[in-house]
Structure 1
Amino acid sequence: MSGPSTPWPGDPHDEEDFRADGCAAAGAEEEVHQRLTAAVEAADAPDAVFALSRHGRRTLHRGGTAPPPPVPREHLRYELGSASKTFTGLLLAQLIRCGPLTGGEPATVCLDPARRAEASPVTLAHLLTHTSGLPALPPDFHLRALPARHTAPYARYPAARVIDAFLRRRPRHRPGTRWRYSNFGVAVLGHAVAAATGTAWEDLLTDQVLRPLALSGTAPRATGPDVDAVGHGKDGRTPVPAFDAGGFQAAGALRATPHDLLTFLEAHLDPSGTSLPGALRSVRTPVLRRGPGHRHVHTMAWFRHPADGGPMYFHCGATLGQQAFLGFRPGTGTALAAVCTRRFRAADPFVTAAYELLAED
């Protein structure tokens, strides 16, 4: 089941302006409609929303295998999982730009000022760019999460335990020498930034990112069924509880509406029109290369792939019952926010459809 594809409510280009471009514009709009329809159907999820912005004109398609919820799908907040890291990256970039931090602070000293910095400390920048040498998760995470692995595994690992696990770590590699994707590292970053500034991560994010970008539909925790989308397991039918990030807030706690996600991405397309121009430009700048031939490029917050018409920036995220894909291409003026209420664990039609949609635009 799928719903209509329509220009976004409040689009600055009204119907009269659109028709003034004639048949070519109508053909382009129909092509977008067909591609979004195909992407929603490929997602094969109870609820799916694909929202595309091209040069400021927004088009949305929503649908799903389940009956439409009481609240229109495009007005619900969806769990972003690891795509939350793009917000955390922008937060750190803004804190560096406005002065409280440099990114070079040793995380151990931030969390425990009585400690002396190591000879090769793990810095805030290392934590954000996955070069800290930390594993994906703390060594004892799975043992503690096992009893709630299908309901709330992260909730069993609160902030105090994340911090303690980091302070007790035994590094296998010198920080800054290897890339390894780490939820653990970005979680520690959130706590270290909060300790260094004396302000809770949620408050920092709200004050430095959400409020300046007018993202009123983005929040770090669930509110209720009238606001938050309900996730489902890999069968696409079994509902799962709302995601509780425990001590991993900075790595994956955020929820947002498709409207807010496009606003967030459009700010990256045109930083000059926002209140955070320096930070938004910073998170687009490549900071490391890895893999064979150094083909894999990363910024402070995004994966960056080459494409015709200029590079594309993207990040995926998943919780126990939802998935998200965020991406933008400055060279084509395109942004894509895609969300769905199903968790795929093998071949992933949702991410494939979203990536191809952005890459082909």
Structure 2
Amino acid sequence: MSKFLATATAFLAAVNSVSAACTNPTQRKPWTDLTTSEKAEFINSTLCLMDPAQAPSKTNYAGSKSRWDELQVAHIAQVQFIHTVGSFLPWHRWFMTVHENLLRTECGYTGPIPYWNEQVDQAAGPLTASTIWGTDPATSFGTGATDENGCVTDGPFTNLRYNINTELERGEDKCLQYDLKQNQFDQLSQDIVNACNALDDYVDFNNCLGGAPHTSGHYAIGGTMDDVSLSPADPMFFMHHTNLDRLWWVWQSKNESRLTDMGGKNVATSTFLVAAQPKSLPESAFAPYFGDNSNVTTLDHIMWMAGTAENITIGEVMDIKSDAICVEYL
């Protein structure tokens, strides 16, 4: 057993409960609703989280150097067990909160957490005119421009390099890449989301939201976001998935029973995701710790964060006003 797997297994076995009361939920707002100073602070805090000098790794998993690296490890290590499964939405809800907490505790971020309201931008015009783009690198994600290799050429993340690969090893440095696709952006329409909202059952809704509203958000940006394992290396990942979490919350808010509605398989069986799972962390490394006692996802399912945060259950994150999440969407 590798050192990484041995340490990871110990963390998998540890489950904690978040106990602080949710009395002052943090706000999550569309990117367009942040002030200029809030946008600048968010981008600076994101750059801080990537910097080993400012936010050094506390786990050193897979050779991670920064807290940003650790977030990548948490996603890469279990890609087969957090996509096209029942835990897809709750795991990513907890992941968004872990990301937020790191921005605040490691880098002093004090503002609201932004999301990219893709549905509004899709209705307003082409992807290249989206509100996330701009010419000021201090307050935007750049213009989306790339060189012949797809590496971004402007904006705050032109110097971003990541090198933890899909087998949880340090490989060659990779740049942040975009490959903008209008036909994928068109799949992020409110009409498609409305079709998901019309579904009553969580399993059906999860499958629907995990379809075009999820995958097309990745493919519309393309490049780094195209990679099912490595996509959290792109800060856009968190803007996209925070919006997805908002859409899930909109659906949940329509019926109180949806705060406990959970189901679906807990291990992805598609050839694509099986192949993407690191060989050092097979199903046998995870399944004993899921807490479901079957192959169906339950509220007792344990979500692992690779040492970046507590391992908690799905039941603890079903309500965004829970102690674990404690946010509100505006």
Relative to the length of structure 2, the TM-score reads 0.27
Larger RCO (CA within 8 A; separation ≥ 6): 2
Q: Is the strand fraction higher in 1 or 2?
A: 1
Q: TM-score, normalised by structure 1?
A: 0.26
Greater radius of gyration (CA): 1
